[in-house]
Each structure stands twice: as C-alpha cells, then as structure tokens.
Amino acid sequence: MTSTKPQRVAFRTFGCRLNQYDSEAMRTLLEGDESYETAAPGEVADVYVVNTCSVTARADASARKAIRRLRKEHPEAKLVVAGCYAQRAPKEIAQLAGVSLVLGTPDRANIVEEITAAKGEAPRIAVSPVEMESEFLNVPVTDMLGHTRAVVKVQDGCNQACSYCIIPQTRGHSVSREPQQVIEQVAGLVSGGYPEVVISGVHVGDYGLDLANSDWDLPRLLRALLAVPGLERLRLSSIEPASINHELIDLMASDRRFARHFHIPLQSGSDSVLERMGRRYRAADFSELVARIAATIPDCGIGSDLICGFPGETEDDFEQTLERLRAAPLSYLHAFPYSVRPGSPAEAFGDRVPGDIKKQRVRMAKRLVSEKNEHFRRAQVGQRMRVLFERVKGKDYSAGWSDNYLRVELPGEAGLSGMKEVKITGLSVSGLTATIC
C-alpha cells in the first residue's frame, strides 16, 4: 500500500496584520491535515493561497496581478483566493483564469475541505454571508513563518459603519476571542521563541464588548498578557481614538514591556469631513488625545492614517487637516488618496475630488509629517533602547525595530537576531543607527 504525498501549500498575503494572522491560521489548519504541508521558501507549490485585501482599488488590483502572475508561472497549481476581496466580489474573482477556489471570510475554518473539493474546470465559490461569522475562529497558531514578532488577533469585524469602509461587509460584526484562548496562545508563542507579541483586531478597542457574562475589556486583557512569563515586549496595533482612555495610557506608561507606540487613525482634521465619514470623534478630540499621550509617555511613537480627497473635501477642509498635523506630536503618517469602495455608503456621494488634487494633498501631508519624523528621530540620538532585530540576508548590517517603532540599523554587525540593548548614534535615511551596549 502506497501513501499519497502531501500537497505543498504556499501563501501570498496582502494588507494588514490581520491578514498576516489569518494566513497563519489557514496554514495551521492545513498543516493539521496529513494531505497538506507548507512549501519551503522558494519551493514550487501545488496550491497557492492568495489572501487578499480590499481597502482600496489599488489593493484589489495588486491581488489580481498576483493571481495572474501565479497562473502564468504555475499553470498546474490550484489557486485559492481568500480574504476581504474574495468576500466582497467572489464572482469577479472567479472569472480570473486559473482560480480554483474563492473562499469567504466565514468559510476559512473549512479550508481543508474546500480545497479538497475544488476540482475540475469550474472554480468553486465557497463564500457564505458575513452574518454567519458569529463567533471568533479560534486556531492555535504557534508559529509565524518568516517573522521575528508574533501577531495575535483578539477581535474581528466592526460595528462602526464608516461611510468609506466595507469592513462590516467583508468581516461582519465585532466578535471577541475568549481571554483564556488569547493568554494561552501568547504563552505558547513566547515559549516558542517570540520575544514580541502584537495584539491586533479590526476594532481592537471593542474587545470584550460582545463576550457574554464577562467584565473583560482591552486594558484587562493587556494586563493579563503582561503577566505571561518571559514576554519581553507587548505591542498594540491600530486603535480608534475613542477607545483610548486614561487606564490604557497609564498602563503603557507604567510597564516598560508595553511598547511605547500608538497608531491612531485621524482620517481628516475637518469636523465636517469626519461627520460625512461617519467617524465618532471630532478633530479636537484627536488633538487632545495625542497631546495627552505625548505628555504622559516620553518618546512615544505616535502614528496615524489620513484619507485625502474624501468627497466634498474643500481646500479649507484640507488646510484644517494640515493644521491638526502641524500641531500633533506624530512620528509617522500613512496617507492615502480616497478610493471609492463598491457597496460603501460613500459610493453614492457626489462632489468628487479630482485625482491630481488628491495626490497633491497626499504629498503635502506626507512632507509635513516627514519633517516631524526627522525631529523625532534626532531626539533619540544618545539614548539607550531595546531593539528586536530581524535577520537581514546578504547585508553587512543588522536591523530591527525599537519599542517606539523606529527602524534601527547596526552597521558592520551582520546576522543579529533577537532583543538587544543598543545606544543610538545617529540617523540613517529613514531610521536610526546604533551600536551594541
């Protein structure tokens, strides 16, 4: 009796940290079945899973390009398309040549069965309504391939319904993971050699609100994780302004293992634009919040997101945004031109801003905050900090990230990995240089 050789599976992941985690969860499910194994880096696979993002039209285009390239390079392989784009437009993706399976967000738990069932010429569409995603998909991920830090998803979905966003349509309503499951996974990752864990979610500040008969919230969960033996650094991913309270700020200020880093979306500095976006705060709320963080947590890295050219955004609206950016203690900014999302409420909004104006506003915002970034980096020179180094192949230096989210390079020190204490000596092109203490 001969045994069947397992099929090799490779992943191509687009988008946010949540997608990174979702890819690891699907990989873990596949590795739990004897019919599948993970392809080694650079190895030709039998199955390619493209985990897509759909936050912008560019994200959709990047996914389609990857699918076409895989089809051309590996015509005999199965192509599986998952993620937000797959959930939003399954029929559109199924029309792409070579696609074997379109897998929806609620259907990730069945990835083994769905890949096995995807046979023949016609693509299989396994996309259930997001309303069926009523519980958190708990997968015991113990390894993050190719990463020195681990991402742990504690919450999924969103109840906010911002007018420009389709996440409620692609990931459903907010669901939280049971706290004991989170604690056990973090403990396992730490014991497995991951010194840093990033806590992530679509709307991570809503953690615990849906848990029945529970008084768990985000600060309580973070305190429990900081008690995990051996954890060297805990980092929080993007969090909405309204979810940050004094308790959370004080917790970060009081424990050196809690990375001094907040990523807080602003989206616009104009109240009229924020109202049309459906955001649940005003520009002054954001300004007061980041000022309080900077005053409480010295050298805290504070980043933000900005959408430029939202329908109806005037020159005065954008100038208000620039004024907020000038006054805010930001260390970096992710700015994007507005991209209409099919099915979002804003799709029906008139008064579109021309594309060249949107791009110009993006450039202006980035230029302004880049000056802040240089000032922030200069303030770190001479300080000591702990850096988590990542292996850099083929280079004569090592590089990693500080707790306040600055890239640090050690010239002439190749092959470093893990957490090291360094002294900052100067500035690189976009980060810092240092020496080992």
For residues 114 and 223, give the distance between their C-alpha atoms in angstroms, rounded to a whole number: 39
204 occurs within a structural domain? yes
* pLDDT in the model for residue 3: 56
H or E stretch covering 182? helix 179-191
For residues 411 and 424, give the distance between their C-alpha atoms in angstroms, rounded to a whole number: 12
For residues 83 and 124, give the distance between their C-alpha atoms in angstroms, rounded to a whole number: 15
360 and 303 both lie in a single domain = yes
Question: Which CATH number does the domain housing residue 208 bear?
Answer: 3.30.750.210
174 occurs within a structural domain? yes
206 and 249 both lie in a single domain = yes
157 occurs within a structural domain? yes
372 and 395 both lie in a single domain = no
Per-position DSSP letters for 133-156, written without gaps between them: --S---------TT-SSEEEEEEE
Domain limits for position 11: 7-128
* pLDDT in the model for residue 415: 87
148 and 200 both lie in a single domain = yes
100 occurs within a structural domain? yes
301 and 351 both lie in a single domain = yes
Domain boundary (101, 128, 155) is at: 128
For residues 67 and 61, give the distance between their C-alpha atoms in angstroms, rounded to a whole number: 10
144 and 223 both lie in a single domain = yes
Question: Which CATH number does the domain housing residue 105 bear?
Answer: 3.40.50.12160
For residues 209 and 192, give the distance between their C-alpha atoms in angstroms, rounded to a whole number: 30
373 and 390 both lie in a single domain = no
Domain boundary (223, 244, 259) is at: 259
Q: Give the contacts of 172 (CB within 8 A, at least 6 positions apart).
A: 105, 106, 130, 131, 133, 134, 156, 157
406 and 425 both lie in a single domain = yes
Question: Which CATH number does the domain housing residue 339 bear?
Answer: 3.30.750.200
| CB-side neighbour CA atoms (13 Å) of 102 | 24
119 and 141 both lie in a single domain = no
* Number of helices (H), then strands (E), in the chain: 13, 18
55 occurs within a structural domain? yes
Q: Residue 281 has which token pair?
A: 């705060």
Q: From residue 238, give the alpha-carbon distance in Å to each of 53, 79, 90, 218, 322.
A: 16, 31, 28, 13, 21
* pLDDT in the model for residue 2: 46
Those residues of the chain that have pLDDT short of 70 are 1-3
* pLDDT in the model for residue 78: 95
148 and 253 both lie in a single domain = yes
pLDDT digits (tens, 9 = 90+) for 42-52: 899 999 999 99
Strand ranges of the sheet holding 233-236, from the earlier edge strand across to the other edge:
175-176, 150-156, 196-201, 233-236
117 and 212 both lie in a single domain = no
pLDDT digits (tens, 9 = 90+) for 277-315: 999 999 999 999 999 999 999 999 999 999 999 999 999
119 occurs within a structural domain? yes
How many domains does the chain divide into?
4
H or E stretch covering 190? helix 179-191
* pLDDT in the model for residue 427: 97
113 and 143 both lie in a single domain = no
65 occurs within a structural domain? yes
* pLDDT in the model for residue 147: 85
pTM of the model: 0.94
158 occurs within a structural domain? yes
